[in-house]
Chain A
Amino acid sequence: MTHSDDQGLVLPPRLAPISVAIVPIYRKEEERQAVLAACRTLADAIRAHPVGDWLHHEPLTVKLDDRDHYQPGYKFNEWETKGVPVRVELGPKDLANNACVLARRDLPGREHKVMGVPLAAAPARILEMLRAMQTDMFERARKFRDAATVEVDSYDEFKKLIEEPGGFLLAHWDGTRETEERIAAETKATIRCIPFGPAKKPGKCIVTGNPSEGRVVFAKAY
């Protein structure tokens, strides 16, 4: 629920059960054989590529989608919905150039596809992509959260903001259960945590005006 989009699941590469899905593209039987052979070689090369501690020394997992009864477009959609981080496309034209096409799940659209990646360089390139995707996903989620985290100094403003747009509201609270329960009853927001971090600055409770040791995090929660 942190990363997924309207196309389906988006999984962080370090936890994705399948790291890479290879979709072969062919029409004629002789194309099929040559393309599948190249895909198998590439799949083995990706599995053999050293990953190090990034995956606790486990290999990358590769799914070669060699099902004959589905079209490539259907396969793209399926792996996209399942959140596989990197997709490899390999067809006769790519094979003629000893290359393949790479697509990152979190960067949809044709413009983000990486064309003409030499097959020999593909495993290293894929690992690089996976690592970048892991970092980018975290940064994107952090920016989203930070943008939806605001300091609030009046209860009226609090009530308005918690409805729309919602998010984490940093507000002063007098430390009593009564005030916490009143806020929960009136706004459905609860105290999520009393955050560790920068030194606490004292202030006045937004509800009672009594002294507060520092801001706490309010939000509606699951």
Chain B
Amino acid sequence: MSTASAVVTGLGVVAPNGMDTEAYWTAVLDGRSAIAPITRFDASRYPVSLAGEVRDFTAKDHIPSRLLPQTDHMTRLSLYAADKALADSQVDLGGLPEFAAGVSSASTMGGFEFGQRELENLWSKGGQFVSAYQSFAWFYAVNTGQVSIRHGLRGPGSALVTDQAGGLDAVGNARRQIRKGATLMVTGGVDGALCPLGLVGQLTSGELSTSTDPARAYLPFSADADGHVPGEGGAYLVLEEAAAARRRGARVYGELAGYAATFDPGTDGTPRTGLERAIRRALDDAQVRPEQIDVVFADAAAVPDLDRAEAEALAAVFGPRAVPVTAPKNTTGRLYAGGASLDLATALLSIRDGVIPRTPNVEACAPDHPIDLVVGEPRTADIGRALVVARGRGGFNAAAVVRRAS
């Protein structure tokens, strides 16, 4: 396997606070949150009633009729984001060899809304009323399949299911495929399960905020943190072999310079050290020292114990309060695999524009978290390298370093 560089040449964002990259980025810089009462269904009797919904998406405006009966909402959002990313990259896929381009996506929940509807059909009407498309529409890997078919991406195809960490694991895997010979990978994640079945599934984590005040419901690293809010959306990226991108004169957002994943033991009481190891290995992989990282996009669970573990891991690697840390994901809600992919896109936009978005609604970092949390206003800074951190339920940790293209 080579050590070819992989660069990001296209971004496709679909977020509750922005239906494309620039709208989302503007909202993030303005600190504009989309967290609000759930409208997709009557959530008034559920303990969690807030979410970050993508409200401006009309499926039939973006998705071919042939695909509507066979796709869950999150697949439609995936197709939309992948379309945007490919258009942004301006690549001519037809000019590539047949198996040179592939798809590596991540999904945390799969197609719950579709699945719930078909389960309701099964139990209330009978098996004859279950859609034949249920066979794949609910499935975690379906986004990779549908994106691949739509764009004729017949190279490597894979799907990762490691919760929020998956949004980085998918991109790390895409780089691996490029090093094994692929020219281009469409990669990232989109999640969305804001239906009763999906919400009930998410409730089992015990990590969702039950606040009914959108401004108070998702306060990572705050002394008032009481959990996160679910959201839907994410991002797809076009990752390209650097030399190929250069040859076609592509605009480059940055390089995926480092990536690592680790796994923590289960709930047996063993100290969780995996996050720190993942960060150190990602830095090593990028061949950078901690002091060369200009900003960290945090996992930011807003669960006090998890915030503490993350803050301590960051302080162990970088020193206490030695690097700016931010979590603009509290403007979208936690997007699971989609969240980490979106953080990668956000990090690349930070590099592009020389600005670190703030973590809105948080007035101050809790004093016992030894990190420099960016609150109040965005910070202007020359950003050459950014670290993105993600954790998934069940012990998954991932870290990625992106840097300005040389």
Whether chain B is bound by chain A comes out as no
